[in-house]
């Protein structure tokens, strides 16, 4: 049986604020995340995290707009698929399609907000809860294994790692979501320019709205760049404080 003291300690650990990170950690984690995004092999592996956020965005908005979520699949080529039932047109479908490419940096922005308050452990546990919720809707083995591995790694860091390791892990992950949300939009337009992608989110949006697919690609890019800027300012708080700018 869990004692009151044990529960109190758990909640204090979960909700308590950690010390401010050294400014050098903020810089180094940002550089590591940027290196992963622009380097071919690391990006090929780490892109799975972007896909998780992308498909999770589709799924969450589908549920929030009243659509019936049928399942999520994550594939080894880092693509994914979220199936929902409901009207094939209308605001719910538009918002569901919009959510995919916007979700990774928006999740990163939420993480940056928590890190700005030094709520590192809380951020990691929220990530675990979201991954577990997504796992329930996964409909293929690769997707399930991916979520178990990622969720297990986050849980292990949150529970066993030192505060310094937790901080480095959290800042790198949030920087990666913010920066990594931009590259898939560029890749999308390149693929569309070469051979077309009638099944892409942008092309599906073009099919159910009066606006062309290129408009939606540009919208994805502009929103994600704006979110990157906002999240970057939040993460740069320790740097700005040391420079006397806050």
What digits encode the pLDDT tens for the residues 92-150? 999 999 999 999 999 999 999 999 999 999 999 999 999 999 999 999 999 999 999 99
Tokens of residue 171, six digits: 């800042």
The answer on pLDDT for 41 being more than 70 is: yes
pTM of the model: 0.93
Q: Which residues contact 162 (CB under 8 A, 6 or more apart)?
A: none
Q: Which residues contact 47 (CB under 8 A, 6 or more apart)?
A: 78, 180, 184
Tokens of residue 116, six digits: 């700005």
**How far is the C-alpha of 74 from the C-alpha of 80, rounded, in Å?**
4
Q: Which long-range contacts (CB under 8 A, 24 or more apart) does 241-245 make?
A: 241/20, 242/23
Reading phi first (left if > 0) and then psi (alpha if -120 to 50, else beta), residue 71 is in left
Confidence of residue 2 (pLDDT cuts 50, 70, 90): low
- pLDDT for 6 equals 62
Instruction: Note the pLDDT tens digit of each residue in 44-96.
Output: 999 999 999 999 999 999 999 999 999 999 999 999 999 999 999 999 999 99
In degrees and rounded to multiples of 5, residue 22 shows phi and psi of -65, 140
- pLDDT for 237 equals 81
Confidence of residue 170 (pLDDT cuts 50, 70, 90): very high
The answer to whether residues 96 and 67 touch, using CB atoms and an 8 Å cutoff, is yes
Instruction: Note the pLDDT tens digit of each residue in 176-226.
Output: 999 999 999 999 999 888 876 778 999 999 999 999 999 999 999 999 999
The answer to whether residues 78 and 51 touch, using CB atoms and an 8 Å cutoff, is yes
The answer to whether residues 114 and 166 touch, using CB atoms and an 8 Å cutoff, is no
The answer to whether residues 144 and 153 touch, using CB atoms and an 8 Å cutoff, is no
Measure the CA dihedral 198/199/202/207, to 10°. Answer: 70
Across 76-112, b (16+ Cβ under 10 Å) vs e yields eebebebbbeeeeeeebbbebbbbbbbbbbbbbbebb
Q: Which residues contact 218 (CB under 8 A, 6 or more apart)?
A: none
């Amino acid at each position: 049986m869990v004692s009151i003291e044990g529960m109190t300690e758990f909640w204090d650990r979960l909700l308590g604020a950690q010390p401010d990170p050294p400014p050098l950690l903020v810089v180094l984690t940002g550089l590591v995340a940027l290196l992963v995004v622009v380097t071919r092999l690391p990006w090929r592996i780490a892109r799975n995290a972007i896909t998780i956020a992308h498909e999770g965005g589709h799924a969450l908005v589908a549920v929030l707009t009243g659509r019936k979520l049928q399942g999520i699949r994550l594939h080894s080529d880092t693509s994914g698929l979220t199936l929902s039932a409901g009207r094939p047109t209308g605001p719910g479908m538009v918002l569901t399609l919009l959510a995919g490419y916007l979700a990774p940096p928006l999740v990163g922005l939420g993480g940056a907000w928590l890190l700005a308050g030094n709520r590192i452990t809380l951020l990691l546990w929220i990530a675990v809860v979201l991954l577990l919720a997504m796992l329930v809707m996964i409909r293929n083995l690769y997707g399930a294994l991916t979520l178990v591995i990622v969720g297990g790694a986050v849980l292990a860091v949150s529970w066993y790692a030192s505060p310094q390791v937790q901080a480095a892990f959290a800042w790198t992950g949030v920087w990666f979501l913010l920066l990594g949300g931009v590259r898939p939009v560029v890749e999308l337009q390149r693929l569309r320019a070469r051979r077309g992608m009638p099944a892409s989110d942008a092309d599906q949006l073009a099919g159910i709205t009066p606006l062309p697919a290129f408009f939606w690609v540009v919208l994805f890019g502009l929103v994600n760049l704006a979110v990157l800027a906002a999240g970057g300012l939040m993460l740069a708080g320790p740097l700005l404080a040391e420079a006397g700018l806050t």
